[in-house]
Amino acid sequence: MLSPTIPKTNDYLPFPFDIQNDRLRFQSTTVQNQKGYYDLVEKKFISTQKMKKLIDELKPDNNFEIKHDDSIVIDKIKKRINQNMSFMQKNTRDSYSIKLLRYLSNRFLSSQFEQNITTAILFVDIVKSTNLANTLTPDEMSSLVRVFSQEISILISKHSGFVLKYAGDAAIAFFPIFDNPKEMSQNVIKCAKSMNLLIKYALNPTFTKFGLPEIKIRVGAESGNNQIVFFGPEPDLIGSTITMTSKIYPLADPCQIAIGEEIYKKLNDLQHHFSQIQSDSKKLPYTNSSTGEKYLVYLSKEVFS
Amino acid sequence: MMPSESIEFSIIKNFVDIGNRSLLIMGESGTGKKSISLDLAKNVVKDYNVYFITGNKKPEMMYTWYPWIKPFIPPENIIEISSNELISSDPNFLLAEMINRISSTVITIDDPFVSEEKSKKPFIIIDIWDSLTGEFSPQLKMYAEKIVTSLADKHNGFIVFLSDNEEHSSLEQLVDGVIQTTKLYTDNSMMREIVIKKLMGMSIQTSKIPFSFKNGKLNIFSSFSHFKGEPKKFEPIIDSKDRFSTGNLNFDVKSGGGLKKGTVIGIEIDPDVDRYAFVPFLLPLVLNFISQGHSSLISLSSDQNAESYLDHISPHVDDQKLLENLRLYCHTFGEVKSKIIVDRGEEQNFESAHNLWLESYIELKQKQTPLLMLVDYSFIELGYRDNLNSILKAMIENTRIIRHNKDLMIMTSRPGFQTLDVMKSACDVHFRIFDHNGCTFISTEKPKLFYSNIQTDSSLGYPRLQFTDIF
């Protein structure tokens, strides 16, 4: 299995973030005296300088985490959201960064076609989005979801993950093992926490400014084996982990994180942030196939509202 | 609908919309290739940035010739490769230069984190293809054709080749569409045509589209349309001392201020022309007579229903004026409901019918106001085949009465009828209405005044003729 290494410096990544040798997608060219890449699918040119800056913004960074007092990161994100919210009224297309992330995700999975890979899976969705859809105009709703999707996609990438797919106001991400399984699990938890803080400190204040309601999210995560398959032209993941995560995440309250027992085991220092679900009403009706015991689910003690 | 937005022209626009990448417009110099390409560009500007690669036309010159392109082709998009360059430079270098220019029209990403605007694709018109590739060997020419057409695909754009050369065997195969522009000369007028040779993915109903130019803009002729919209009351145009207004200011201008009093007008109409063409032609004239208190005496053909004929007139003029000033002379099949309708009976011979006609004329003339007489002699000839001599005599007699009383007579006939020959010699002005490639035209045969495409203009709340001159 191809297991890329993520350097902890700001150097270019060899894979999956390099694009220089992908001639099926990117063609080196010069336009208006600027060197860069012609994206053969999007049929657009991006200068080398902008591409480098883009990848710098997207590539994983083990030190990255949104904290409530990190005004530099939050201000940067707020500026980006502001800009997009202003443009969203007239623009209805994803930014190039989202298209690139989607391509990188597909390329990563395609490179390991039909293999079983160990990944952490993360589900995130907006709580009570049906109510939102009923109160907002379609344009407002699509602006809100588009900005939300872009920002969580960037966060996922910063935490060494890829977006597998979007489903309306929800997204499914996977976090492969790059260095070691513990790091993968910790990345997912850090990402889930960052997502909640992103909503609280950057997205909601900007939504309010633009007359949109505040949102809350629910996140669920679990790790294990998944099979890479192709349904149609794009790669996908199937397996018990992805299914289990889809059952786990509705158990979280708004602004809370729900995790499965497999990921919990690998958390070490972070385990004390979670407590096992005790209430009968929230018990999962599943058993762990290897132990035959009841499947355990843990909820974050902290609620990020 | 603007002329260039006609259904016929929309096939070429749709050809661009469905994702084709290239079009070759070929035709002799002066047949309208540039105008067609620019008009096509104007129709697709919502999705495309338009570039014009030209040999010797600076932006100012292009804007002087085609002022209407200014809103959608900025000066920087008019790329000039001068005649000097074309003569003195290596064609290979110029080809490379042009390819670079086309490549630099590619969309660039400014901020990868900002939601993308719906980006416009390049629409490139190449006006220098002949001069650029004229000295190329056949192999190099084919290579150049392949490279440039592939650029359109690569950049998601559309390329239009303009060429005076009518032989492009390899390019014709490479491009997605080929149209040819031609000129046809008729008497002292020139008709232009777009001949569709190939448009991939399109179902071609009409392979020839007639057009002309108006103020440098393309005027595509469309098939004759009928009146659409809410009927409104007619506002009369007061006659001058010597002339009757046609009720249509455009027509008055074309006919030198209206139709002279005491004139006999002959209209020859080809059998394949939609008979509705008479409505926008004659209805404003009839309405103008009636609403000024003049009289109108109209002979309907045997297949025309008086009530439905009246339906064309009555929404636009007061009932009282109709009753006083209009007589429709026709077969009523025994159901006369109005004083307006004069029944000529079924079994009468022509002479007694004609006498009844003259009685109506005399009745209307008792008011001592001008009168408009409208007769379709081909239908009378059809109805009274055995009385041809009497019909011809009556035609002459009518013209004499009209001229003497300074009234106005409109007589119509069709090719194949003997009344047509008499009409041609007896009338003072001879109009001919005919179809060409699905469009309707009018020309004045005697005297030679104008030659125009005609269409129904519904903008005033009644049908009137709209003329587009053929130069």
Q: What digits encode the pLDDT tens for the residues B174-214? A: 899 999 998 877 666 677 888 999 999 888 777 888 887 76
Q: Are residues B465 and B406 in the same domain?
A: yes
Residues of B with CB under 8 A from a CB of A: 103-104, 106-109, 111-119, 121, 154-156
For residues B112-121, give the mean pLDDT: 75
Sign of the dihedral through C-alpha A141, A144, A150, A156:
negative
Confidence of residue B37 (pLDDT cuts 50, 70, 90): very high
Interface residue of A44, A97, A150 to substitute, partner B, most B CBs within 10 Å? A44
Asked whether the ipTM of the predicted complex exceeds the cut of 0.90, the reply is no
Task: Please check whether residue A219 lies inside any domain of the structure.
Answer: yes
Interface residue of B102, B113, B151 to substitute, partner A, most A CBs within 10 Å? B113
Q: How far is CA B386 from CA B119, B200, B306, in A?
A: 73, 57, 25
- Tokens 């005296």 belong to which residue? A33
Cβ within 8 Å, pair B108-A32: yes
Q: Indicate the number of domains in chain B.
A: 2
Q: How far is CA B342 from CA B290, B294, B300, B301, B369, in A?
A: 17, 18, 10, 13, 20
pLDDT digits (tens, 9 = 90+) for A200-248: 999 999 999 888 999 999 999 999 989 998 888 889 999 989 999 998 9
Amino acid at B337: K
Cβ within 8 Å, pair A45-B112: no
Residue B54, pLDDT > 50, answer: yes
Task: Please check whether residue B232 lies inside any domain of the structure.
Answer: no
Instruction: Calculate the average pLDDT of chain B.
Output: 85
Residue A19, pLDDT > 90, answer: no
Interface residue of A19, A31, A98, A210 to substitute, partner B, most B CBs within 10 Å? A31
The DSSP bridge pattern shows strands A234-238 and A274-276 to be unpaired
Asked if residues B210 and B17 have their Cβ atoms less than 8 Å apart, the reply is: no
Residue B341: which domain range? 243-469
Amino acid at A152: I
Q: Are residues B24 and B57 in the same domain?
A: yes
Q: Are residues B90 and B11 in the same domain?
A: yes
For residue B108, give the DSSP letter: B
Residues of A with CB under 8 A from a CB of B: 29, 31-32, 38, 40, 43-47, 50, 54, 57, 80, 83-84, 87-88, 90-97, 100, 146, 150
Å from A29 to nearest chain B CA? 10
Q: Are residues B68 and B202 in the same domain?
A: yes
CATH number, domain containing residue A268? 3.30.70.1230
Confidence of residue B1 (pLDDT cuts 50, 70, 90): very low
Task: Please check whether residue A224 lies inside any domain of the structure.
Answer: yes
Q: Are residues B418 and B348 in the same domain?
A: yes
Amino acid at B111: D
Task: Please check whether residue B329 lies inside any domain of the structure.
Answer: yes
Cβ within 8 Å, pair B113-A146: no
Q: Are residues B251 and B198 in the same domain?
A: no
The burial of A1, by beta-carbon neighbours within 10 Å (0-12 exposed, 13-18 middle, 19 or more buried), is given as exposed
Cβ within 8 Å, pair A31-B108: yes
Residue A150, pLDDT > 90, answer: yes
- Tokens 């220019």 belong to which residue? B101
Task: Please check whether residue A62 lies inside any domain of the structure.
Answer: no
For residues B129-158, give the mean pLDDT: 83
pLDDT digits (tens, 9 = 90+) for B371-420: 999 999 998 888 888 888 999 999 999 999 999 999 999 999 999 999 99
Q: Are residues B166 and B56 in the same domain?
A: yes
Query: Which residues of A fall within a CB distance of 8 Å from B114?
Result: 83-84, 87, 91, 95
Residue A280: which domain range? 70-300
Asked if residues B362 and B401 have their Cβ atoms less than 8 Å apart, the reply is: no
Q: Which of A268, A246, A264, A247 is nearest to A300 (CA)?
A: A264
Task: Please check whether residue B236 lies inside any domain of the structure.
Answer: no
Query: Which residues of B fall within a CB distance of 8 Å from A100?
Result: 112
End-of-domain residue from the set B220, B251, B273: B220
DSSP letters of B22-73? EEEEEE-TTSSHHHHHHHHHHHTTTTEEEEEEESS--HHHHHHH-GGGTTTS
Q: Are residues B113 and B31 in the same domain?
A: yes
Q: Are residues B154 and B253 in the same domain?
A: no
Cβ within 8 Å, pair A96-B116: yes
Q: Indicate the number of domains in chain A.
A: 1
Residue A199, pLDDT > 90, answer: yes
Instruction: In whole angstroms, give the CA distance from residue A101 to residue A113.
Output: 18
Task: Please check whether residue B231 lies inside any domain of the structure.
Answer: no
Q: How far is CA B187 from CA B183, B443, B470, in A?
A: 13, 11, 12
Q: Are residues B277 and B378 in the same domain?
A: yes
Task: Please check whether residue A13 lies inside any domain of the structure.
Answer: no
Asked if residues A164 and A236 have their Cβ atoms less than 8 Å apart, the reply is: yes
Q: SS3 breakdown of chain A: % helix, strand, coil, rounded to 5?
A: 40, 25, 35
Task: List the single range of A264-278, B159-173, B179-193 with lowest mean pLDDT.
Answer: B179-193
Cβ within 8 Å, pair A91-B103: no
Task: Please check whether residue A88 lies inside any domain of the structure.
Answer: yes
